[in-house]
Chains A and B, each alone.
Chain A
Amino acid sequence: MNSFTELLVEPFQEFMFMRHALAACFALAIGCAPVGMLLVLRRMSLMGDALSHAVLPGAALGFLVSGLSLYAMTVGGIVVGLTVALLAGAVARATALREDASFAALYLISLALGVLIISMRGTSIDLVHVLFGTILAVDDPALILVASITTVTVFTMALIYRPLIVECFDPGFLRSVGGKGAAMHFLFLVLVVLNLVAGFTALGTLMAVGMLMLPAASASFWAKQFWSASLTAAIIAVIASYSGLLLSFHLNVPSGPAIVLVAGLCYVFSVFFGRYGSLYSRRRAGGHLTG
């Protein structure tokens, strides 16, 4: 029993940075869950990934200007992330290229630019930190930043919940009743970028999207309504954060990949044993209903 606590609780009791990281990840889990669910429902899962790459040069520029400064990197990430999202949308509307293709093009340019900027100035260790995150980086300001972004996310989602859902479910109808569909889409993109930026302090730019997508993709196997699926996604993300941080602590591996891998395990489990649409539920014996 003693070794049990030693393994599961003590790292957090003993070390401030572990508590910080845990709190940051829990906040991330709550903010990312509804945003990730909407990405899944809008078939924009891969766009979340593209955006996470696109954030890199912003963070890199911040890094170039003021080293591993949280605020510079955050502001840079938000500005560049939003620019890429808006540019991709604009290219898709103004030309014959579709939105996914223009997103792919822009994120690749963005990613290459980011790696280039970091390699110009920093060492490869810095690059690894920016790409994969480090739990040691979650200090008080980082924690406050992540918590603020989660708060903004949750409140914004609550405010625009209805039109956001309708825009996702039936955009034609929202237009026909004069709803502001495009504005909702833009606000939603802002939330995606904000949460990716929140994620990269603890998880790194490459791994941040894991917190966004994996719990959401898993949750769609367990719930049939948006709010219950979001709740499930948040719970999965909390479990993944806790276990991932412990793994990272005990095995001395980077926190980002550890957390994302645990979330990945949850996903694999859901694919096989989830309640709706999983391999198991589709093969379940027991006959059919009479009506």
Chain B
Amino acid sequence: MSIDVKQISKTFGTFKALDNIELKIATGELIALLGPSGSGKTTLLRIIAGLEKADHGEIYFHGKDVRTEETKDRNVGFVFQHYALFRHMTVFENIAFGLKVKPKAIRPSPEKIKAKVHELLKLVQLEWVADRYPSELSGGQRQRIALARALAIEPRVLLLDEPFGSLDAKVRKELRQWLRRFHDDLHITTLFVTHDQEEALEVADRVVVMNKGKIEQAGTPEEVYHNPASVFVLNFLGNVNLFHGRVEETKATKMYVRPHELTVSRNPISANSIKAKISFINPAGSVVKIDAQTSDGQLIQAEIAQEEYKSLKLKRNEEICLTPKNITYSEYDI
């Protein structure tokens, strides 16, 4: 089911959370709403769910204006950051809830409900916790149950609010991949909110970068990473080094280079090579991170492959040359 967000604005008191948001989401897309705190991403998600009301604008589900529809009629599956599992009910009852509260006319029979709950538990690979209470589960398990619960009502759109935010790194990574595979199987239109750019880039079909209530850029992970539409997007997605470039009468230039787009050598390679002294090496990880400082005090971060590091035999306080492979320019008036 497609979602069409038209000119949505929302203000809380004096704080403008959303400023004229326009967004089109196609059926079956997995969209990440990415941005820092206060960017409005959670507010947008809640407005789509009906948990908040926008001050201006419309939302269309498959062409139908849902502004008059209450949350309970919108058939959205919502997964909360802190799971919001019903603490006084068992896992089974939690998942069955959405089916049990359906109006008598369309409510499935107890047998059907039981079957569906077990089907979902199987889907999230947690059949064995059916009789436990949420307090007896780990964070990762709870999140999966929350997802199963949301899916029980066969929602036409799935909304997840920082679903992996309260979990530790390893569990987060696992669940990320799991969500991706999951979406590939079920193809429900899914929106999830995150502040973790790595997560957004890894999982989503499209990333919507938000800042201060506005959409900075909406595009595929490749697009937003390699062709950032603004300095903010560039900065937000991955580390970046900033250099000051030419200064003319009325214009100045800033140059952005990502750490992995710097070639490290002992001698200069081109006119753009920058001399710097290694201040810190972090060899642990998939790439080696090198911090270096130029003679005028600028800090530069570079990333190189493990093999390269080994062959160069770099040590702290050594002098190296850093050459940018790819530069993003940004001009501004002074």
**A and B together in one complex:** no
Residues of B with Cβ closer than 8 Å to A?
none
Residues of A with Cβ closer than 8 Å to B?
none
